[in-house]
Amino acid sequence: MSLSKTDYIIENKLRVLQEEKYKLRIFAIEMHIKIDPDYGIEESLQGIRSITGVTVVTAMDSVYRGASSSYLSHIKIKFHPRKDSTPEMKYLKRILLPHINSLDIPGVKVVRIVGKPEQIQ
């Protein structure tokens, strides 16, 4: 039994849709955060890791700033929005930044976002 051209196109498109359904969109963003020394760097990074959608948090550099009695850490966060329909900037503004700056992760504040979220997968 041979497939018609229309059947072939439909079958091919269904296969592509099936693959897209299970494809995970992963993004990365770098930022500078201020960490109160009473809470510690690793504990603060663990708090960020607990945010829904965050997969990896890497400390790229941390410096103690005596003038403000705090750590300034350059971190990289990898995340994937739970819903495929959620754009990365919406996730960043509505979930990631508010959680980092809230009391959910005490002693941590975002100082600066470095660039824009970049899709890595």
Centre a 10 Å sphere on the Cβ of residue 68 and count the other Cβ atoms it contains. 10
For 70-114, the pLDDT digits (tens) are: 999 999 999 998 776 789 999 999 999 999 999 989 999 999 999
Does the structure show a pLDDT above 80 at 47? yes
90 found inside a domain: yes
6 found inside a domain: no
d(CA 109, CA 78): 18
d(CA 63, CA 11): 56
49 found inside a domain: yes
93 found inside a domain: yes
Range of the domain at 106: 24-119
What CATH code is carried by the domain that includes residue 33? Answer: 3.30.70.380
57 found inside a domain: yes
7 found inside a domain: no
- pLDDT in the model for residue 12: 74
d(CA 113, CA 59): 14
111 found inside a domain: yes
10 found inside a domain: no
Among 19, 23, 114, 25, residue whose Cα is nearest residue 78: 25
* Count of the separate structural domains present in the chain: 1
For 15-33, the pLDDT digits (tens) are: 666 656 556 789 999 999 9
